[in-house]
Chain A
Amino acid sequence: MKKLGVLRYSLYIFFFLYSVNKLYAQEDPKPIINASLIGTIIDASNKEPIAGVTVQLEAVTHSVKTDGHGRFQFVTGQKLPFTLIISFVGYEKKRIVVNTSPVVIELSPTTENIDEVVVVGYGTQKRRDLTGSVASLNESLLKQNVSSLDQTLKGGISGVQVTQTSGQPGGGVSIRIRGGASIQGGNEPLYVIDGFPIYNQTESTGVGSGTPVNPLASINPSDVESIEVLKDAAATAIYGSRGANGVILVTTKKGKAGRVQLNYDGSIGKQQVLKKIAVLNAPNFAIMRNEALYDAYPNLGKFQYLTQDKIDQLGAGTNWQEEAFQTGKITNHQLSVSGGAEQIQYFIGANYFDQEGIIKNTDFKRLGFRSNINANPFKRLNVGANFSINRTTSQIAPSGIVNALLIMPPTATIYDADGAYTLRNPFENIFANPIATLQETTNTSNALRISGTSFAQYDIIKGLQAKVLLGVDLNNRKDKFYLPSYIYEGSGNNGKANLGNLDTYSWLNENTLNYTTSFQKHHVNALIGFTQQEAKNEIFNAGAENFVTDDLLYNSLQSGATLVRPNSDAYSWVLHSYLARVNYNYANKYYLSASIRRDGSSRFGSDNKWGNFPSLALSWRVSNESFFKEAFPAVNDLKIRTSFGTTGNQEIGQYQSLSTLYNLNYLFGNKIVTGFASHRIANKNLGWETTYQYDGGFDIALFNSRLQFTLDYYYKKTTDLLLNVEIPWTSGYASSLQNFGSVSNKGFELGLKTKNLNGHFVWNTDLNFSFNRNKVLTIGTGAQSYISGNYIIKVGEPLGTFYGTKTDGILQKGEESIKGVFTGNAVPKAGDRLYKDIDGDGKFTTANDRTSIGNAQPDFIFGLTNTLSYSGFDLTFLLQGTIGNELLNINRQNLEMFTGQQNASTDALDRWTETNPSQSYPRAKLDPAPIFSNQFVENGSFVRLKSLQLGYTIPKQLLTAAGISNLNVYLSGQNLLTWSKYKGFDPEVTSGSNIQIGTDSGVYPASRSLTVGLSLTF
């Protein structure tokens, strides 16, 4: 019954929309008669013509834009005099009555463009009225040719660190806003897309291999109109238990009243791997293997693998990277129609995006449609619906493939003498033939996502608006996997097929009342609301093995002789929230904002379901004080801000507070019987992670806003961290999820926007710097540190601290008896690596001689966007950098094993031998224990030309005959240049996990891409 209620209300809204549509669909365009007005628009200050200015006849929707020489031409049915409305970004809007033709009109640059409206949580605000830290992404960065919208944020906004987690087409990124705080919970920001909150998390179907597709890739980035990032508590507290990691507000394109615009944007491009890792060729590998075998079995001679004759005949061998990497094609077509009249506006778009990976047989395709409609069917009613449907298909690189490409011996071949695939390398360490794995494994993921919001907003009385929003996000994903019998991975099972299905359904309802009023010098805006969101995931997978043919792939599970036990799962969560906010200002000088959200989440313990998240912000617009204006005429705006507030993080998955049971089976009488066992001890007090954040900053604009500077200092303390606190195993459990421990992040953010030149030649610069310091304050009672693999979480040190041994050269001949104890080997031998004895017990052991050996947190990050335009040419480039962080190069650790079982990097050429007493690289050894040391911790700093776009707008006079109003051709590149000392594929790399930040282990490498395209508007 209650579900029916929601349905009924949504039907009301759709009915409204539908009837409104019908009403306005019949309106005819106004006829245009041949009479013309010609003119030029120039800059009032430097008298240079301005291109791209919108010139509109008042009372008529008809408008034109000026060409590269500032000229415009009107063809109209009206007679002189005309009233023109002239508008252009950065200039004062002008209304002018024109009596003659041709006419020259001067436009003055705006003294302040901080009047722009920005989207904030549950509403919009004028930028100058903001009390919180809200940053907007530079519009030109939205035009980057990327597969998902989160990638456009790289380097664009201070305090936002964006790192690619996989170069797989459609692969994910990891975003940290003002540093990561959560150890066990989620650290990704909340995305709010046209009002619909989404936590971007990949759910697994239990099928498939490798990095899953980024769910945000199922939203077309070309549909995005603007992106705002909410950073401080004043801005995020309204999102309560989901605001602690920051909030990214995404607004999609809307139609505007005026002329119908038909826009086509198409591009084709290519992408390549940034670099390849130098590994040994076949002869050098064979020599190393001979050495390793001789070292292990000296009585069998020096040529146990291949004799010198055979080595001489080897040739270069198989270059596995060369065989696997390719130049991938990228194609993008975007078609949209937008327009509307005063009462209804629409934006309808279609998109096709196809990206081939830089590794063979990997790709990502998206076909999407969007329909955004806004209408005012009645004077006081505003309704809208923003919906998109996207289907994505992706062939994913199986996990471990990059590692296999690096370490597969060059003496192994792709095909055997009969032309069939070589199954695996011939040595004791088994690696499957990675080319066969790549080419023959079916590992595809298809997703269909239907998402959007619709709303109705009613002006009850002047200034008081009621808004109801309904949203839905449906995501259906199917993962398909097949290992044929003729490759190694499938040979044991005689073919292996799996199918997995994930069905995600999330709905949202928001009901808000918004009141705005002014009396005398008091301005008040108040908001109250109730929202609820529910999400449900259903997962199903099944599989089979032992097929008589590989032809049917995963399409006929029933024909497999061995069935894999099917598996299903379902989980859901609910969030109820009450919210309120007041923005008050006196005389546009003194500002106060206060907000509170009360959230109830199903995810938490029965005794701790509800939490309150308040915030308070104050700001003072000093520049509006009369004394200030006289004293500092060059400063046209100065605002000092401060805020404090509380936000939460509820990303801990479901059912973590309950003592759930899980299914496990056993055998009796050779038949499977069902069993159950308990998962964990219940914790009724489990609650959110709470982040207290203080922010202080100022915004200053100088010289008619040609220079704008923003500085923020923040201190964020996250307490009640959700930690799987380790408990003694004697309890029967390893850990218990508890609210324990705290982490702080503090730092500075600087933003500088300058309009260096704004005449004929326009040059704008947008620079941002961010410094963040992360520190673990406490972790559980009494505990000072805990070690997790190659990392340590230690009180007083930042998260992402590497924990390992320190190397100390190589053991040389004659030193065995003195320094041998520092090799960690029972029988030390010259050529073994030496390690530092950190605990000072006179010997080296891997367990005890470890210490902190680096950190993945950067000293600072920056982004520098330059936008230049000159007579039809425009150029945007983004330089981006991360300085002072370290990376853990696991690929390199694998490549410096020198076992002769697997390939090694070319550094192996300098390994210790009798004739080359190296101090840097150890001898070849058949079975060394892999020891994690500072050898594999590298400087991860880099500066790169992240993106570059060069465009040319064809002069309009060449186009008018074809009915084209604008034609822009462009060249766009990503990752064109990189300056870094990092030895791996790419320094912009991280593992997705919170603890293992900065690990580079078999990650699909990043690529460099170059695209040409054209944008056409009718």
Chain B
Amino acid sequence: MKITYLLFAGTLLFGFVSCSKLDEKPESLLVSEQFYLNENQAISAVNGTYRKLYESGQSIYNSLFQIGVEMATDDYEAGPRARNAHVRAISNLTHDASNDRMEQLWKQSYDAINASNQNIEYIGLIAPEKINETIRQRLINEAKFLRALHYFNLVRWFGPVPLVLKPVTSLSPEDLYVAKASENEVYSQIIADLKDAENLPNYKSYGDNDKGRASSGAAKSILAKVYLTQQDWSNAKLKAQDVIDKEGYDLFPEFTDVFHIDKKNGIEHIFSAQFKGNSGYQGNSLASRSAPADIPGINGDYADAWHAEGGLYGTFAIQDKRLKTTFTTGMISPVDGKYYALAKPQFNKYYDESVVGNQSQSSKNLPIIRYAEVLLILAEAENELNGPTSLAQASINKVRARAAIGDIGKDLNKNDFREAVFEERRKELTFEYQRWFDLVRRGATYYVAKLKAAGKTNAAPRHLHFPTPQRELNLNPNLKQHPDWINN
């Protein structure tokens, strides 16, 4: 009897050892060692990098560009419902190195760059039998395109920035404390990446399920813009001409088609951030941010507003077909059916009629580059090279013709033509995240003058760049503030 119990107690005591294991094996998460092993995983890794164009909340191509960049121009301001002090500071040009929206620009861009770096590095290491070689090259080039796009934004916003080209896998100082590279070094890398990305397929050769991926045309168009920004007019012209001649794009016949939800990734769309509301996916939140707040049933945020002193609305000709797509002056309430006039015109490009009252679910894509801009790049570059030649005129007139505002004056001189192109860009690309870049491209004097003329009297030459975020300066001993922002 006793022995039985002793045995019983003994087995109980020691019988349980190692019923469970201490190794951590997440059941609902993948760890990096399990990843980048085959083609499907490579594709999903690159898909993830596309999503970093706007990951969540206020993200780069989902309103952060507007809030963190475009507010600092003569066309936009923080609306009555933009209560955040950081946002209002950008709008008033009183921002400093601790402005959290600019921190986000920096943070999110490098997050996307790190994802691209991982794609480029690890997709290259996948065993040949696990991935089709053509797909491997395409995916790597897509990642290079995205990396170039983010560095292109960064270098324009912040000037010299750290150039990180390998995935960060350790907490060593070499990996963490990267010094800034010069603007030239950054641009060289952007150009190299985009040249590789020119080998991407033409947009027409992507199947229906891949529409929206980066294409050869996208790489060339962004490259044209890079050259234009660098004032490398001849290369800018060459690339723009290349896109126009070889990539098979055209303008939509009607301007409204550019923002029609049934015509996404159409003949004019070269590269866009993709949105789809009410699908358990992500809507374009610019729509609700600009929608008015005080019309029953519209439920807008009214946080992005048109800066009236800049006068943009008035520069549109009455017959300009872009006007009604770009601006709205009043709306019909879905609740009481009445028409409500707005106190001042408001942006309308991303307003989605299929989700009245719930504009945060707008399905409108955001064009990052489209054919009309390539035409304007060609016009600008040609004018800088050879003056307002017929090529330059034909190029801008194509855009003007669709807007039904007639040809540009034939007797403009080079300077006037330049101004005309910039005014055309301003109207054609309103609310497409281009204004700040266009203003700073022209230099400090131009930028400050334009902003002061629009009543933004705090504008100063240092505003040609954003300050390097203070957090980064605090954490990285090798990082220096932009010289214009030291002592500011």
Q: Is A491 an interface residue (CB 8 A)?
A: yes
Kindly state the separation between the CA atoms of A594 and B392 in the bound complex, as whole angstroms.
89
- The minimal Cβ–Cβ distance linking A604 to chain B, given in whole angstroms, is 8
**CB nearest neighbor in A for B360:** A492
Closest to A16 in B: B8
Of A569, A660, A726, the residue contacting B471 (CB under 8 A) is A726
Contact A492-B357, Cβ < 8 Å, known A380-B5, A430-B299? yes
Nearest A residue to B475, CB-CB: A728
Complex CA distance for A350 and B43, rounded to whole angstroms: 57
Number of interchain pairs (Cβ within 8 Å): 269
Please, which residue of chain A has its CB at the minimum distance from the CB of B167? A732
- Measured CA separation A609–B33 after assembly (Å): 20
Residue pair A568, B28 in contact (C-beta under 8 Å) = yes
Does B49 contact A492, Cβ atoms closer than 8 Å? no
B346: interface (CB < 8 Å): no
Chain A: minimal CB distance from B204 (Å): 13
Residue among B8, B22, B297 facing the most chain A CB atoms (10 A cut-off)? B22
Give the interface segment out of B208-216, B407-415, B419-427, B444-452: B208-216
A96 at the interface (CB under 8 A from B): no
- Candidate in B48, B118, B175 with the most chain A CB atoms within 10 angstroms: B48
In the complex, identify which listed stretch (A434-442, A880-888, A925-933) lies at the interface while the others stay far away.
A925-933
The answer to whether A665 has its CB under 8 Å from any CB of chain B is yes
Residues of A within 8 A of B278 (CB): 545-546, 562
Q: Is A730 a contact of B51 with CB atoms below 8 Å?
A: no
Is B257 part of the contact surface with A, judged by Cβ < 8 Å? no
Bound form: Cα–Cα A665–B23 in Å:
29
CB–CB A929/B88 < 8 A: yes
Chain B 163-174, CB-CB to A under 8 Å as 1, else 0, gives 010011111000
A979 within 8 A of B: no
B98 surroundings in chain A (CB, below 8 A): 847
Q: Which residue of chain A lies nearest to B85 when distances are taken between CB atoms in the complex?
A: A929
Residues 352-367 of chain B, each 1 if its beta carbon lies under 8 Å from chain A, else 0 = 0000011011000000
Against B, the Cβ 8 Å flags (1 = close, 0 = not) of A689-729 are 00000000000000000000000000000000000001111
B155 at the interface (CB under 8 A from A): no
Pick from A27-35, A56-64, A670-678, A1003-1011 the stretch touching chain B.
A670-678
A606-B33 Cα distance, complex, nearest whole Å = 14
The answer to whether A600 touches B22 (Cβ under 8 A) is yes
Assess the B209–A669 pair: CB atoms within 8 A: yes
A606 surroundings in chain B (CB, below 8 A): 23
B98 to A, closest residue via Cβ: A847
Contact: A511 with B357, CB < 8 Å?
no
Known: A532-B20, A666-B50, A669-B212. A730 touches B164 (CB 8 A): yes
B479 to chain A, nearest CB (A): 7
Given A458-B9, A667-B281, A728-B19 contact (CB < 8 Å): no
What residues on B are CB-neighbors of A532 within 8 Å?
A: 16-17, 19-20
CB distance from B114 to the nearest CB of A (A): 2
* Cα–Cα distance between A6 and B17 once the two chains are bound (Å): 10
State the Cβ distance, B488 to closest chain A Cβ, in Å: 11
A734 within 8 A of B: yes
CB B161 to nearest CB in A, in angstroms, measures: 8
Contact present for A845 and B96 (CB under 8 Å): yes
Q: Does A661 contact B (CB under 8 A)?
A: yes
- Taken residue by residue from 275 to 301, chain B's Cβ proximity to chain A (1 for < 8 Å, 0 otherwise) reads as 110111100000000000110010100
- Whether B30 and A733, one on each chain, are in contact in the complex, defined by CB atoms closer than 8 angstroms, is no
Contacts of B22 in A (CB 8 A): 574, 576, 600-602, 609
Binds B, one of A277-285, A335-343, A421-429, A548-556: A421-429
In the bound complex, do residue A668 and residue B31 qualify as a contact, i.e. CB atoms below 8 Å apart? no
A829 shortest CB reach to chain B, Å = 15
Residues of A within 8 A of B16 (CB): 5-6, 9, 509, 511, 530, 532
Complex Cα gap A678–B55 (Å)? 13
Q: Is the CB of A466 within 8 A of B13?
A: yes
Mark contacts of A484-510 with chain B using CB atoms, 8 A cut-off: 1 yes-contact digit, 0 otherwise.
000000011100000000000000010
Q: Does B246 interact with chain A (Cβ within 8 Å)?
A: no
How far apart are B19's CB and chain A's nearest CB, in angstroms? 5
Residues of chain A lying within 8 A (CB to CB) of residue B49: 675, 677
The answer to whether the Cβ of B387 comes within 8 Å of any Cβ in the partner chain is no
Contacts of B360 in A (CB 8 A): 492
**Contacts A6-B16, A380-B5, A602-B24 given: A730-B476 contact, CB under 8 Å?**
yes
Q: Name the one of B55, B81, B274 contacting A429, with C-beta atoms under 8 angstroms.
A: B81
Residues of chain B within 8 A of A380, CB atoms compared: 5
User: Do B9 and A733 touch across chains, with their CB atoms under 8 A apart?
Assistant: no
B52 located at the interface, meaning its Cβ lies under 8 Å from any Cβ of chain A in the complex = yes
Contacts of B117 in A (CB 8 A): 732
Which residue of chain A has its CB nearest to the CB of B30? A661
Identity of the chain A residue whose Cβ is nearest the Cβ of B103 in the assembled complex: A729
A219 within 8 A of B: no
The answer on a CB contact under 8 Å between A458 and B5 is yes
Is the CB–CB distance between A657 and B81 below 8 Å? no
> Cβ of A676 and Cβ of B48 under 8 Å apart?
yes
* Alpha-carbon separation in the docked complex, A509 to B281 (Å): 45
Indicate whether B344 reaches chain A with its CB closer than 8 angstroms: no
Question: CA–CA, A565 to B45, complex, Å?
Answer: 20
| Residue B205 interfacial (CB < 8 Å) | no
Chain A contacts for B103, CB-based, 8 A:
729
A826 touches B44 (CB 8 A): no
Answer yes or no: A365 CB below 8 A from chain B CBs: no
| Complex interface: stretch among B104-112, B124-132, B194-202, B306-314 | B104-112
- A845: nearest chain-B partner, CB-CB: B96
Report B1-55 residues with CB < 8 Å from chain A CB. Answer: 5-6, 8-24, 26-33, 35, 41, 44-52, 55
| B177 and A661 contact, CB distance less than 8 A | no
Check if A75 is an interface residue, CB within 8 A of chain B.
no
Q: A residues within 8 A CB of B32?
A: 659-661, 678, 682
Q: Does B152 contact A (CB under 8 A)?
A: no
Q: Is the beta-carbon distance between A729 and B111 smaller than 8 angstroms?
A: yes
Q: Is the CB of B162 within 8 A of A730?
A: yes
**In the bound complex, CA of A931 to CA of B167 (Å):** 39
A631: interface (CB < 8 Å): no
**Residue among B6, B41, B111 with max Cβ neighbours from chain A (10 Å):** B111
Measured CB to CB, the nearest residue on chain B to A897 is B83
A572 to B29, CA, bound (A): 12
Chain B residue, CB-CB nearest to A662: B29
Tell me if B208 and A669 are in contact (CB < 8 A). Answer: yes
**What 1/0 mask marks residues of chain A from 732 to 764 whose CB sits below 8 Å from any chain B CB?**
111010100000000000000000000000000
Q: Does A892 contact B (CB under 8 A)?
A: no
B184 at interface by CB-CB < 8 Å? no
Q: Which residues of A contact B9 (CB under 8 A)?
A: 456, 458, 460, 466, 468
Chain B residue numbers with a CB within 8 Å of A677 are 45, 48-49, 51-52, 115
Per-position binary interface string of chain B over residues 445-488, scored 1 when its CB falls under 8 Å from any chain A CB and 0 otherwise: 00000000000001000000000010110011001000000000
Interface of A with B (CB < 8 Å)? 2-3, 5-6, 9, 12, 378, 380-381, 426-430, 456, 458, 460, 466, 468, 491-493, 509, 511, 513, 530, 532, 534, 545-546, 562-565, 568-574, 576, 600-603, 606, 609, 654-655, 657-662, 664-679, 681-683, 726-734, 736, 738, 826, 845-848, 926-927, 929-931
19 contacts between A and B (CB under 8 A): A428-B294, A466-B12, A491-B297, A493-B358, A565-B280, A658-B24, A659-B32, A660-B31, A665-B281, A668-B209, A672-B280, A678-B115, A682-B169, A728-B178, A729-B110, A729-B472, A732-B117, A826-B92, A846-B85
Other than A664-B51, A667-B281, A847-B98, give 20 A-B pairs with Cβ distance below 8 A: A429-B81, A458-B6, A460-B9, A468-B12, A509-B19, A564-B280, A574-B20, A666-B47, A666-B50, A668-B211, A668-B274, A669-B209, A674-B47, A675-B44, A728-B176, A728-B178, A728-B475, A730-B476, A826-B92, A926-B80
Residues of B near any A CB (own CB < 8 A): 5-6, 8-24, 26-33, 35, 41, 44-52, 55, 80-81, 83-85, 88, 92, 94, 96, 98, 103, 106-107, 110-111, 113-115, 117-118, 162, 164, 167-171, 175-178, 207-213, 264-265, 274-276, 278-281, 293-294, 297, 299, 302, 357-358, 360-361, 458, 469, 471-472, 475-476, 479
